[in-house]
Chain A
Amino acid sequence: MELGPSQIAGPDGVERDADLWQRCATGDGEAFGLLFDRHRERVFRHACRLAASRQDAEDLVATAFLELWRLRDRVRMVDGSVLPWLLATTTNLGLNARRARRRYQRLLERLPRAGSQPDAASVALEAHGLGIDGRLRAGLQSLQLRDAQLLVLVALEGYSVVEAAACLQMSEPAARARLHRARSRLGEQLSGEAIPQRLAGQEDVR
């Protein structure tokens, strides 16, 4: 696939999410397209953790970006980036899949898919060391949604507790307490199985 210049996120000179977001507000669709180019791969990798198939993961990505625009008045940036919001929303959509995504079902059915590629879910789960398909999803589903979103951002996506708390609009102490609870519960849920260290480990001190 041919990639746009903004696919390479981060280097100097690349327009920040916050700037692109402002352009979106004026009806600049291409700015939204650039946000999609920039974050779709990371959102897709996360979606693969929660999805049962490649198509399911793709639908999650599409829904997350559609929600980004639909809920634009409520999107909260962290350090000028929409990525944490997208990841938290993807977690929400992945764990509350059917009804939440039904909103866009017909729209998604219209999008063409072509070619055959290896199943994303199994590949991604393996890549993340998460083992059996569905185990992480089941574990996250046993948590309160906010706890699951928090755990994903901190334990799987590498955000600090402070950043994740900002994204989810909660205080840092509350986030730490929730994170501790989430890890404990996940440990109970997955007892007897090998739990990835970053999910079951101690709270992040950042």
Chain B
Amino acid sequence: MSVEMNETFTVALRRLLVEQVEHGSTGRSWSRRSRRWSITAGAAVALLAGGGGIAAATGAFSSGVPGSQAVSYLAAPVSIAGNGTETVQLGKAPVGANAIAIEFSCLTPGTFNFADGSGVSCSSQADVSNSLTYPDTYTLSLSPGQDSTTITADPGQRWRLTATYVTATTTPWKVNASGQTYGSQNQNGTPDLVAVIATNRSEGYVYANQLEGPQPTTPSQAVAEGHQEPGTLTVYESDGKTPIGQFVVGK
């Protein structure tokens, strides 16, 4: 008996792959426009190096986490490699697009800034390797007519960006039986229990007041915090009581 992939899925996947290659190679063009990122994206690279990751507003978590963004993809992704400061032209935005879902990887060590002052820092080759394996993911809101975004970095600092036009809506946090809010950090702030990925890769929550200080909002903070001593927090189910793993803060 032979095993075959679902036909409908196979056809759709093939179409997606073909579109991706066509857009990824021909969609590159550069122009000078400045854009604003909608969210604060901290030092996900530094945090992930500890074996886990704060879901934050990065969209890295399962879409069902309260406070995360529900995203509907409207176009094929565009992949672009850059060197230093570049403005990425994304093509005409589809009707209904209000955001761009992006994945960002460092290709060399460096500090990569976005227009709102957030960014990603890769301080070592190990960070680069980690960033390539687990790119940082964000959702960037779009202004009407916007069709580009800018990455700022020093010459020679290389990066890769994958961007997709999306419709994004942020779901509300939920409240557990103890009256604690839980979900992803997002533009509305931080819930009592913050969604994280534990070192055992379970998805759960840590107490926000146990996280070591506020999340970094600038690359320099990210680098500084990346050199802090590790701190281990217990990861719980959404009830805030049932332990399911550990989360390491810092390196």
Give the interface segment out of B18-26, B39-47, B83-91, B217-225: B18-26
Chain A CB within 10 Å — which of B1, B7, B13, B25 has the most? B13
Chain A 1-55 interface residues, beta-carbon cutoff 8 Å to B:
1, 24-33, 36-37, 40-41, 44-45, 48, 54
Interface flags, A67-100, vs B, CB<8A=1, else 0: 0011101000000000000000000000000111
Residues of chain A contacted by B71 (CB below 8 angstroms): 106
- Interface residues on chain A, size class: 35 or more
Contact of B24 among A40, A61, A69 (CB under 8 A): A69
Query: Interface of chain B, helix or strand or loop or mixed?
Result: mixed
Cβ-defined contact, A29 with B17, below 8 A: yes
Assess whether A144 is interfacial by the CB under 8 Å rule.
Answer: no
> What separation, in Å, do the CA atoms of A105 and B71 have in the docked complex?
11
Cβ-defined contact, B18 with A69, below 8 A: no
CB distance from B4 to the nearest CB of A (A): 7
Residues of B within 8 Å of A, CB-based: how many?
Answer: 44
Assess whether A166 is interfacial by the CB under 8 Å rule.
Answer: no
Interface flags, B49-77, vs A, CB<8A=1, else 0: 00000000000111100000001110001
What is B's interface to A at a CB cutoff of 8 Å? 1, 3-14, 16-22, 24-26, 60-63, 71-73, 77, 79, 81, 101, 103, 132-135, 137, 162, 164, 197, 201
20 contacts between A and B (CB under 8 A): A29-B21, A32-B20, A54-B6, A58-B6, A62-B16, A69-B79, A70-B162, A98-B201, A99-B134, A106-B72, A106-B101, A107-B77, A107-B164, A109-B63, A110-B73, A111-B16, A114-B6, A114-B7, A114-B9, A115-B8
Sort A-B residue pairs by CB-CB distance and give the 3 closest, nearest first: A27-B25, A29-B18, A29-B22
